[in-house]
Amino acid sequence: MSRDDLAQGTETATETTDADRFTNARAIRSTALFEDYTELIADLTEEFGEARITDIARRLGVTHPTANKAVLRLKREGLAISRPYRGVFLTEAGAAMAREVKARHRLVVRLLIAVGVPPDAAEMDAEGIEHYVSETTLKAFEAYLEGRG
């Protein structure tokens, strides 16, 4: 693209696609936080009957104020509730998000192991990939794994 094109604000199809990709990636990064927290809250609730801020912070390796701030965001988004002198609990929307993230995680781990990634590395890598992979790609992963059956 020339300087004239930039000055006039014209874009090529490639640039529009690039902009869409980068905008999508930024939106996913924001959603990834919600997904990580809902997944962890679901795990802690299953294990202990509730998810305490202290446990959330420790498991995610963040400070108590950071975990508290994130939980407040979850509550504003309708994904979690908290009770006085108790922990944090997921709403139905939060629980649905946690189930979806766990399913994506398991599928990505299965695919990575199927292509030869060691299980420990697959678990670690899936933690990032699970947030960025599209539904189209997930369906392709599933079809690939089923075809290996």
**d(Cα 43, Cα 94) in Å, to the nearest integer?**
12
**d(Cα 117, Cα 58) in Å, to the nearest integer?**
28
Task: Give helix then strand counts, H and E, for the chain.
Answer: 7, 2
> CB 72: neighbour CB atoms within 10 A?
12
Q: Report the predicted TM-score, pTM, of the whole model to 2 decimal places.
A: 0.77
> CB 35: neighbour CB atoms within 10 A?
20
pLDDT tens-place string over residues 86-95? 899 999 999 9
- Residue 138 sits in a domain whose CATH number is 1.10.10.10
pLDDT tens-place string over residues 111-147? 999 999 999 999 999 998 998 888 999 999 999 999 8
Instruction: Show the domain range for 107.
Output: 3-146
Give the count of domains, the chain.
Answer: 1
Residue 104 pLDDT grade (very low, low, confident, very high; cuts 50, 70, 90): very high
